[in-house]
Amino acid sequence: MNHLAIFVPSLLGFAALALAMERHQEDLFGRTLSPRATRALRTGGWLVLLIALAVAVRSQGWSLGLVSYSGHTSLGAGLVYGALVALQREAQRQPRPLTAGTATAPTRQTTASRPPA
């Protein structure tokens, strides 16, 4: 139970911190959030990480609590990062709509099809 009580806030904290970044806001929402919402996400993310630290230290003491906190935050950050990468790749795979005046959708050039420099 203690591990879950440390991991879930760690995951939520890093998710909030990721959503506080304009780059990720544009990727996920197609626009940036208001400065107030961004500040709330950033503050909330740090507060939830501090709560996870308090739970870890209170349940396991300073020595093991800090080690446990470090592991849980690493796992949480890695999962958030992996999810952002997966969402970005999925967005790139989606077919793009045809633009006005073109007969086919734009294609991505590979190194083999690029003209020599």
Average pLDDT score over the chain: 86
* Per-residue model confidence (pLDDT) at position 78: 96
Report if residue 108 sits inside a domain: no
**Dihedral angle over CA of 41, 20, 42, 15, nearest 10:** 70
Report if residue 64 sits inside a domain: yes
| Calpha distance 86→110 (Å, rounded) | 21
Task: Let me know the angle formed at the C-alpha of 85 by 81 and 86, rounded to the nearest 5 degrees.
Answer: 115
Helix intervals (H) in the chain: 2-19, 22-29, 35-93
Report if residue 101 sits inside a domain: no
Report if residue 6 sits inside a domain: yes
pLDDT digits (tens, 9 = 90+) for 69-106: 999 999 999 999 999 999 888 888 877 665 665 555 55
Query: Can you give the residue range of the structural domain that contains 74?
Result: 2-93
Phi, psi of 105, deg, nearest 5: -70, 150
pLDDT digits (tens, 9 = 90+) for 1-47: 689 999 999 999 999 999 999 988 888 888 999 999 999 999 999 99
Report if residue 99 sits inside a domain: no
Report if residue 107 sits inside a domain: no
Please enumerate in sequence order all residues whose Cβ is within 8 A of that of 11, keeping only pairs 6 or more positions apart, or say none. Answer: 75, 76, 79, 80
Please state the domain count of the chain: 1
Report if residue 109 sits inside a domain: no
* Per-residue model confidence (pLDDT) at position 43: 97
pLDDT digits (tens, 9 = 90+) for 52-75: 999 999 999 999 999 999 999 999
Q: Assign 116 a pLDDT band (cuts: 50, 70, 90).
A: low
* Per-residue model confidence (pLDDT) at position 103: 53
pLDDT at residue 109 tops 70? no
* Per-residue model confidence (pLDDT) at position 113: 55
Report if residue 56 sits inside a domain: yes
